[in-house]
Structure 1
């Protein structure tokens, strides 16, 4: 028989005994002091108050005033939905303005925005002088729409405009109601393309190159790689681009007002709102009803798109 001898003062643990778990370090939670809470309240509260005062406040006031008749001097008088009835039935500029806004929006969505995406894809390839091209295409974005209107007035001028001087034509680009809307859309698109290009360039920089390399190894062409791999990853950018494009298309005002005060084929809802609220015969209630209609049209485009996208995401 074999015996096990234990040395005095030493304990040998049994085979089945386990080691005691190491104590985890206790993370100390730092409690907010009074100063921290005041700073957080100021940082969150001041922007919230500004948004409420400058955006939500006027929006709610416009909705309320749209059911009244008010000239800004005498007390407003409640008239129900009469303003909306007059706008849609006996106000001649309304429907042409709606059609012009829709045309403006479709032009930005179907022509200017894809062109900005195309420029972003080409410049993302790090071609020669890419920085110079980015600066050139982005330059119109830093200009105000009013200044863009002045620049294109010089280009479209019938007497000494750049286009007529180069072509020898005698076209009244901004005075002819049959062509002035497309002419102004080109000016608006010139600025919009650069903005969209920068947004998509920022999104393309975040696309994982390994995904594109894997698609190339699988035999996908460059076009297939873009539409099946790259473009789906740009979904957050697409949402931003849609919102920006809808806002740009429906709030268009500066260029047409500089050109001809938004008349003679350039009627827009924003111009009608301004003319009714700030015109000689101030009709604030009537203009507020026009503003509410413009708000509803804007939200209809944006909410529908967001609902469709989020529903598809939830179904996955």
Structure 2
């Protein structure tokens, strides 16, 4: 038998060749992707996953010496939480805020996106103007809103001819807080919805026009159904954003406002408990409950989406 026949009949060579092809495929196709993704994964793990795991751990312990010494206490922090009337009041305020905030954001952002989806001269300028609140510092915008909503010399009362304490009246302070939050939040949601609108094929509108779909009918039967996946996504991030309200309360009202009890949220309570009252373990229990609430709300939204979200 010749040497060539021996090499051809070698059973190990095909296996070796397959491994070589797999290695080459991984090196050429998958390795660059992994190299690009790994930094992001590490940053997310360090700034999001690790703090979440630490928060879950601290909710079940009692810490001393800045967390260097931890004593396992089980559900003690959560037992205290469920008997805390202030927690339930803060939870009610948070849900009230979400109920007001989310529909307003969705409606106004959708309306603006529809307006900015028109082909008119200078449309990019208007898109930039509407997006500006999203990138403006919250502290700076809060100072402007404090002046605008001031009861004695505020521009809003002057324009309306009223004498309303927008930031001091328990009956309207929640609406004022939601108003300022919606103004600062619609920019990003508008851009997302605008992208969804521009992703709808023109041929669908042309076909609808042949069937007599014009004006509101075009929006009702073509635009809205095809926009539901985008609205679903915006709804999820808006609910999460609403449950995490903090900046508006802190900058507009502060810690000594007479109406703080009427708008104090779970996140604001977490901040005060952890960093002002120096109770990080109880604060961790508060924020862990918020995490569970957000997971449940997101799961509920996904469950309900099967009835109203339409995919092409």
**Fold shared per TM-score above 0.5:** yes
| Map of 2:123 onto structure 1 | 130
Q: Which has the higher helix share?
A: 2
Alpha-carbon shift at residue 214 of structure 1 (Å):
0.8
Q: Which runs of 4+ in 1 moved over 6 A?
A: 33-38, 311-314
Distance 1:142 1:304 in 2: 31
Q: Which of 271, 285, 290 is the aligned partner of 2:281?
A: 285
CA 1:88–1:205 in structure 2 vs 1: closer, same or farther (change >3 Å)?
Answer: same
RMSD: 2.8
Q: Which aligned pairs between 1:104-115 and structure 2 lie closer than 5 A?
A: 104-115=97-108
Residues 1:51 and 2:40 are matched in the alignment? no
1:149–1:258 contact (8 Å) kept in structure 2: yes
Distance 1:248 1:221 in 2: 36
| Map of 1:63 onto structure 2 | 56
CA 1:38–1:187 in structure 2 vs 1: closer, same or farther (change >3 Å)?
Answer: same
1:69–1:283 contact (8 Å) kept in structure 2: no
CA 1:97–1:168 in structure 2 vs 1: closer, same or farther (change >3 Å)?
Answer: same
Residues 1:294 and 2:287 are matched in the alignment? no
Residues 1:142 and 2:135 are matched in the alignment? yes
Distance 2:181 2:76 in 1: 35
| Map of 1:24 onto structure 2 | none
Alpha-carbon shift at residue 66 of structure 1 (Å):
0.8
CA 1:110–1:37 in structure 2 vs 1: closer, same or farther (change >3 Å)?
Answer: closer
| Map of 2:16 onto structure 1 | none
> Comparing 289-298 with 29-38, which one deviates more in the overlay?
29-38
| Map of 2:262 onto structure 1 | 265
Q: Which of 173, 187, 196 is the aligned partner of 1:194?
A: 187
Q: Which of 205, 209, 223 is the aligned partner of 1:216?
A: 209
Structure 2, gaps ≥5 residues long:
1-20
> Comparing 35-44 with 138-147, which one deviates more in the overlay?
35-44
Distance 1:60 1:311 in 2: 34
| Map of 1:117 onto structure 2 | 110
State the Cα deviation string for residues 154-183 of structure 1 (Å, max 9, x = none).
111223221233344433221222221111
Distance 1:233 1:30 in 2: 43
CA 1:95–1:132 in structure 2 vs 1: closer, same or farther (change >3 Å)?
Answer: same
| Map of 1:42 onto structure 2 | 35
Alpha-carbon shift at residue 151 of structure 1 (Å):
1.7
TM-score (norm 1): 0.80
2:266–2:286 contact (8 Å) kept in structure 1: yes
| Map of 1:303 onto structure 2 | 299
| Map of 2:77 onto structure 1 | 83
State the Cα deviation string for residues 37-68 of structure 1 (Å, max 9, x = none).
76544322222122111111111111111112
Distance 1:204 1:63 in 2: 40
2:232–2:305 contact (8 Å) kept in structure 1: no
1:140–1:190 contact (8 Å) kept in structure 2: yes
Distance 1:158 1:187 in 2: 16
Structure 1, gaps ≥5 residues long:
1-27
- Structure showing greater Rg: 1
Q: Matched residue pairs, number?
A: 286
1:242–1:302 contact (8 Å) kept in structure 2: no
Alpha-carbon shift at residue 32 of structure 1 (Å):
5.5
Distance 2:290 2:26 in 1: 46
Distance 1:240 1:33 in 2: 34
